[in-house]
Amino acid sequence: MKASTYALMITILVVVAAVTGTYFLTGQGNSQQSVPIVKPGDTISVKYYGYIYYGGERRIFDTNIKQVAEDNITYPKTVSYKWTGNFDPLTFKVGSHTMIPGFEKGVIGMKLNETKTIVVPPSEGYPFDWSKVKNYSLVQTIPVVQNLSLEQFNKRFGKVNPLDNAVYRDKEHGWNCLILKIDATNNIVTIMNNPSVGNYYQPYKNISALQIYVEKISNGVITFKYVIEQTPILLPNGGIIDWQNNTMFRINFNKEVAGKTLYFVVTVIKIKED
């Protein structure tokens, strides 16, 4: 092929790429190949994992890569991470707004089989709602004797049929309680909280990092303190203890990723033009 003819072909290909934004020329000399590039309107398939930082430690919150999901040493997980068992490629149409804005923007311009880390600021990720955050004192009090509605009783003891003089474990505090009286007409259950001063109790059996220390019992009132050994802690009600100081702690009912900078390691494995 004449040099002039070859130069003309290269010029035409470059013009086409500039107009469509679809292909990228690779190779040297006579071995030129066209590689698809992601643009709005394309339907693409990707493999990925997403992570956030807690105290400088990377924690995975989502992935469709089996190796990443199975390896908790190299890829430690967030407390709300859920094993789905689904490792199919993620397929979506770019610009359809089915993904968070920062993710969609990040894949535009990626080449087929390219791997890239996409950084998504909070403004283009998941919004944070301060109304879903509640602050609590580490030191709290509770009456020794309490009247509970049946709904309150079920929340603290589980859905059991309360019986006179029976003893049940309080799931919110970890100590045992005695049933003093049952008012079936008004659905009121009278209980006596029965912890011991100086003892530690574990409210949730599977959460060892959260305990309650009973400081004193005086004038019918129990004074106790929450002992939080680490954060974050995922609670059974979906809230996350994600902050504490010397006097307070907070329970956050937002998604664990809300309000945080997100990092996605993405590999484009398929591009289908619109």
| Model pLDDT, residue 189 | 95
**265, 58 in Cβ contact below 8 A?**
no
CA–CA dist 263, 52 (Å, integer): 6
Residue 210 has what DSSP assignment?
E
How confident is the model at residue 273, as a pLDDT? Answer: 87
- How many CA atoms within 13 Å lie on the side-chain side of 106? 24
CB-neighbour burial class of residue 96 (10 A; exposed 0-12, middle 13-18, buried 19+) = exposed
pLDDT in tens, the chain (274 residues): 444 444 444 444 443 444 444 555 555 544 556 889 999 999 999 999 999 998 889 999 999 999 999 999 999 999 999 998 999 999 999 999 999 999 999 999 999 999 999 999 999 999 999 999 999 999 999 999 999 999 999 989 987 888 999 999 999 999 999 999 999 899 999 999 999 999 999 999 889 999 999 999 999 999 999 999 999 999 998 999 999 999 999 999 999 999 999 999 999 999 998 7
Residue 271 corresponds to which tokens in the numbers above? 């591009």
Domains with residue ranges and CATH for the chain? 43-126+257-272 (3.10.50.40), 132-252 (no CATH)
Question: Which amino acid appears at position 126 of this protein?
Answer: Y
Query: HEC states along 99-113?
Result: CCHHHHHHHCCCECC
What pLDDT is attached to residue 107? 98
Q: How many CB atoms lie within 10 A of CB 54?
A: 16
User: Which among 92, 81, 85, 131 is positioned nearest to 234, based on CA atoms?
Assistant: 81
- Please, what's the b/e burial string for 6-32 (b: 16 or more CB within 10 A of its CB; e: otherwise)? eeeeeeeeeeeeeeeebbeeeeeeeee
pLDDT attached to residue 159: 78
Q: Which helix (H) or strand (E) segment is 35 a member of?
A: strand 33-36
At residue 33, the pLDDT reads 66
Report the distance separating Cα 180 and Cα 203, nearest Å.
22
Which residue's entry shows tokens 């106790």?
224
- Looking at residue 10, what is its pLDDT? 43
